[in-house]
Amino acid sequence: MGSATRHESASSSRRSASQEASDKHKKDGAEEALKRLQEHVHQMAAKKKTEGRLPEPSVAVMSLLGELGSVPNALSLSRVFLGPVVAYWVVEDMWGPAVVGLAVAGASDWLDGYVAKRQGQQSVLGSYLDPFADKVLIGCVVAALVYKGSLPAWVAGTVIARDFFLVAGTIAHHSGRTKTPGLSWKELLEAGRGGQTESGNVRLVQPLFVSKVNTVVQLMLVASCMSQGLMGWPGDGEILTLSYATVCTTLLSWGAYARGYLMGSSRLP
């Protein structure tokens, strides 16, 4: 009797131990399944979070190089390099090459916009690069003309000061320091053709009409100074008249952009 009782007790203990082991195995399996499910949820959340992110820096660089390689942007970029070259020719009294260089630069200023519209290659980057190239070209050449005594310093000072303000304002605008911050620098560099970025549609920069007039007058003044150095024409009176016109349009343009900057405008070039 006692032996049977002990046998039943041992059997009951073994069943209990087996049940506990089975329950523990099931619990461990459930915990493992829950852990895998949580990891999967975290992975999906991380993937969804990164879907709206911009490309990695290497992709951004490739995108930038691709944009710079387009015909309109390459034409704009050529003016950035032509500026110092033309300025050097002016300083060295090489008026012939300087005039030709300025003519080529002026033609590229018209051609880049024409090609961009005709070929559907307008881009956010290009809308910034075009006016920046104009500033580099004009700034280099007027500085060289002042050095040669062909242009009054007060004219060059006004032109360069205005361009410095515009560049500084643009930097502040895209660094989030204006009332309505623009694209971040990363977004700007990654902006695709037609103003498309992965973060949404963005507008191309459109220079003010007075700024376009100012650029034309500046080029006329610079060309006249070079022509005087090359051929002795036009006279000082004509150059002085163009100087006043340049300063007036420069100040008007400066004032218009300053007003836009203070109001948080996104039209800063």
Burial label, 252 (beta-carbon count in 10 A; 0-12, 13-18, 19+): middle
Predicted confidence (pLDDT) per residue in 226-249, tens digit:
999 999 999 999 999 999 999 999
Phi, psi (deg, nearest 5) at residue 214: -60, -40
Residues ≥6 apart with Cβ < 8 Å to 151: 142, 145, 221, 222, 225, 239, 243
CATH of region 57-262: 1.20.120
Between the CA atoms of 114, 120, 123 and 126, what dihedral angle is there, to the nearest 10 degrees? -20
What pLDDT does residue 262 have?
77
At a CB cut-off of 8 Å and minimum separation 6, what does 252 contact?
210, 214
Distance between CA atoms of residues 29 and 37, nearest Å: 12
Residues 133-148: tens digit of each pLDDT = 999 999 999 999 999 9
| pLDDT score for 123 | 77
163-184 per-position pLDDT tens digit = 998 888 777 766 655 455 555 6
